């Protein structure tokens, strides 16, 4: 699934050889989702990362909102990829 803002809902994005229609981001967007990538800015992350984690999704956040939180691993794949394997919840 691909999820975006209300303004982007209904537009299509390409992924591999498929065209995927964007769904509007809501509090229910994370039901039955395993992994969520956030790259929409701090305000979106601040609001929706906790909701995604509460729905048992792994949230990978590209904003700076949670980077310095002691319980949130800051993962750089070339340096500490193993930190992803044992963590559930939020990854910065």
What are the CA-CA distances from residue 80 to residues 7, 44, 91 (Å)?
37, 26, 12
**Alpha carbons 34 and 38: distance in angstroms, whole number:** 13
- Which CATH number does 2-91 carry? 3.40.50.720
H/E segment holding residue 38: strand 35-38
Cβ atoms within 10 Å of 89's Cβ, excluding its own: 16
Contact 91, 84 (CB under 8 A): yes
- Provide the percentage of residues in the chain whose pLDDT is more than 90: 61
What does the pLDDT look like over 2-47, one tens digit per residue?
999 888 999 999 999 999 999 999 999 999 999 999 998 999 999 9
pLDDT band at 92 (very low <50, low <70, confident <90, very high): confident
Q: Global pTM? A: 0.82
């Amino acid at each position: 699934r691909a999820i975006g803002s209300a303004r982007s809902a209904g537009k299509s994005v390409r992924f591999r050889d498929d065209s995927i229609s964007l769904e509007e981001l809501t509090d229910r967007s994370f039901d039955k989702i395993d992994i969520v990538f956030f790259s929409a800015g701090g305000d979106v992350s601040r609001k929706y990362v906790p909701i995604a984690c509460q729905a048992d999704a792994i949230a990978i956040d590209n904003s700076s909102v949670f980077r310095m939180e002691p319980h949130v691993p800051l993962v750089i794949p070339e340096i500490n990829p193993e930190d992803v394997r044992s963590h559930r919840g939020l990854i910065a």
